[in-house]
Each structure stands twice: as C-alpha cells, then as structure tokens.
C-alpha cells in the first residue's frame, strides 16, 4: 500500500503544484524520487510531528493540498491536539497518512502499533477516515482524496500486502465495495485484513456457506445503506479490523444497526479486545496470536454460528 500511495501521489503532484508531501524524517527509500524531482513540493519537518501538523494546516489554509506522512501512530496520537485544533477546527485541506496501520511494525512494539487510531480519528469533527484494503484501493483512495476538500485520514499498511482485485473496482469515498456476493452472512472488512476476509469467505464457500464480503474502505462516513442491506438480506454480520473493537469499524457498524433498529440474528466484532498487542513477533505472527488471520476469522465465525470445526 505504501508504494502504491507514494507512486500515485508523485504522479499527481507532477501535474498539480498545490500537492505537498510533508514527512517526519523518514521513508527516504520510498519518498526519494518525490523529494529529488519535486523539491518545491516536499518538506522534511524532522522528528517533530506537532510542528509538521501545524505547518501543514498553515500551508493548506494558503491553498495547498498537504499530505503528512509518518510511521503508524506518530502523525496521529503524538500530535492529536494540532490535528484537532489546527486541522479539523479550521477544516484545513490536510491528509494525514500513517504507514503501518494495525500491527504492521510487529516486533517494534506498541509504540509503533496503530490499533486505536480509527476510533480516535473518526470522533474528530470534519475528519474523513479511509483505510484501503489493498494496493489497488490505496491508489484509488489517494486519487479521490486529492479531489476531496477537507481533513482526511488515510490509513495504510506497510508493504507487501497482497492484491485483492484482478481488475480496478468502482471506487467512491463513503461507498463500500462488494468484493464477493453472498446471502448467508456478511463479512465487513477494513484495512489490511481485507485479503484474509476474502480468503475466509472462500473457505466458507467450500462448506456451502455463501458469505458476502464488503470492503468498508471508508469508515467515516460509513456506508449505512450497505450495512443495513447486509443486515436485511443476510441476517448475520461480522466486522473485521486490525484495530480495537472499541470505537473502530465494529463500533461504527453497531451504531448504525442499533439506531436503525435493524439488529441482525448474529453480530460479532473481530479485532483486538481492549488490549495492547504486547507479544513479540512480526505482523503475520501477531495476527495469528490475536485471531485476526484467515484461520482466526474462520474460528470466530464457526463459533458464533455453532458450525463444526474444520
């Protein structure tokens, strides 16, 4: 996702001088072409995320489209006050981009994990929250955010995420993508777990269970129509995210269902349960330990629906 984002932004910035990339003294293996070819549209703010966000807000209010970029939670939690007061309050055209959403930085520990960020960002007024599920969605989301005027959060994986789509899907901010049709249950995924969500649906299909898969790449504003349609047509909903189950995608979907009085027969949030991912290992290992890989998703689905273990 990271490479897809940078390549897309670089191509767009060559055509639009308003686009500025601002980094927190990192990512030079990836951002070097941007820095070398467009020095007037690149700023290294140093290890100073609060200043980076303040500068980005000022530049945005002067007519620029500014992307701030850093690892995991550094461009969010470390400078939350500046995001709230400088960016969101003024509806500044700043796009906040963390690379390594979820537990992508694995063994570096919770200081480098982003597992509360969706909840925190979606509560901020005027903030759009986007978590693409694969490199294709990351590319499409980057293009869409150039045209979106206002604060936005673009949560990326780190690198090497598998592609979900064979062909480019129709993409619109705030509208879920139906990756797979199904009438027995719905799996709603966001971010880097979309691939595992699709694999879980394929495994269920081999057992005769047809799972609808929705890529909810935009968590705010949520595609309420897609959620309510899934509840009506399948009666069973699982939300899947590499994030706390509190306040993230699962919380957003639950809010929609309860306010619309459309409680499905079964509803389950799959994510981290009010805990820090304190084990040591890479992302693949941590996902497995916390039940967030394909096998873990299948185990939860089978447990909720009382299906026999496979």
**pLDDT one-digit tens code per residue, 21-58:** 999 998 788 899 999 999 999 999 999 999 999 999 99
Give the phi and the psi of residue 211 in degrees, each rounded to 5. Answer: -100, 125
- Residue 24 domain-assigned (yes or no): yes
* Whether residue 18 sits in one domain with residue 124: yes
Place 158 in a pLDDT band, splitting at 50, 70 and 90: confident
Q: How many angstroms separate the CA atoms of 164 and 136, rounded?
A: 8
- Residue 165 domain-assigned (yes or no): no
Place 160 in a pLDDT band, splitting at 50, 70 and 90: confident
The residue out of 96, 119, 154 marking a domain boundary is: 154
* Whether residue 76 sits in one domain with residue 37: yes
* Whether residue 255 sits in one domain with residue 224: yes
- Residue 167 domain-assigned (yes or no): no
Residue range 164-168: average pLDDT?
A: 94
Domain that holds residue 258: 177-304
* Whether residue 26 sits in one domain with residue 133: yes
Report the percentage of the chain scoring pLDDT > 90.
94
* Whether residue 39 sits in one domain with residue 100: yes
Give the phi and the psi of residue 112 in degrees, each rounded to 5. Answer: -110, 5
pLDDT tens track for 195-245: 999 999 999 999 999 999 999 999 999 999 999 999 999 999 999 999 999
Report the number of distinct structural domains present in the chain. Answer: 2
Mean pLDDT lowest for which of 102-111, 129-138, 286-295?
A: 102-111
Residue range 247-257: average pLDDT?
A: 98
Looking up residue 255, the CATH number of its domain turns out to be 3.40.50.920
Place 166 in a pLDDT band, splitting at 50, 70 and 90: very high
Does residue 159 surpass a pLDDT of 80?
Answer: no
Place 249 in a pLDDT band, splitting at 50, 70 and 90: very high
Looking up residue 113, the CATH number of its domain turns out to be 3.40.50.970
pLDDT tens track for 87-131: 999 999 999 999 999 999 999 999 999 999 999 999 999 999 999
Q: How many angstroms separate the CA atoms of 214 and 192, rounded?
A: 13
Contacts with 141 (C-beta within 8 Å, 6 or more apart), sequence order: 130, 132, 154, 171, 173, 217
* β-strands 152-154, 94-99 pairing: parallel
């Amino acid at each position: 996702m990271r490479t897809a984002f940078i390549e897309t932004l670089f191509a767009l910035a060559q055509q639009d001088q308003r686009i500025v990339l601002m980094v927190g003294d990192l990512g030079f293996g990836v951002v070097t072409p941007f820095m070398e070819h467009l020095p007037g549209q690149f700023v290294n703010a140093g290890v100073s995320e609060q200043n980076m966000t303040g500068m980005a807000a000022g530049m945005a209010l002067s007519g620029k489209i500014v992307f701030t970029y850093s690892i995991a939670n550094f461009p969010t939690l470390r400078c939350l006050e500046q995001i709230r007061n400088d960016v969101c309050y003024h509806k500044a055209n700043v796009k906040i981009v963390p690379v390594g959403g979820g537990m992508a930085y694995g063994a570096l520990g919770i200081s480098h994990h982003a597992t509360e960020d969706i909840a925190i960002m979606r509560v901020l007024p005027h903030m759009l929250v986007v978590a693409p599920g694969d490199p294709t969605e990351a590319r499409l989301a980057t293009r869409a955010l150039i045209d979106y005027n206002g604060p936005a959060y673009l949560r990326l994986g780190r690198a090497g995420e598998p592609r979900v789509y064979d062909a480019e899907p129709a993409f619109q901010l705030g509208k879920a993508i139906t990756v797979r049709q199904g009438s027995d249950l719905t799996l709603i995924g966001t971010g880097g777990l979309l691939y595992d969500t699709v694999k879980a649906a394929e495994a269920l299909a081999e057992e005769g269970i047809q799972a609808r898969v929705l890529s909810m790449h935009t968590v705010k504003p949520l595609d309420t129509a897609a959620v309510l349609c899934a509840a009506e047509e399948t009666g069973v909903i699982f939300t899947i995210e590499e994030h706390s189950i509190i306040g993230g995608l699962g919380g957003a979907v639950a809010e929609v269902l309860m306010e619309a009085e459309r409680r499905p027969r079964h509803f389950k949030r799959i994510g981290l349960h009010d805990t820090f991912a304190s084990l040591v290992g890479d992302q693949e290992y941590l996902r497995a330990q916390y039940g967030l890989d394909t096998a873990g998703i299948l185990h939860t689905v089978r447990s909720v629906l009382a299906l026999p273990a496979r």
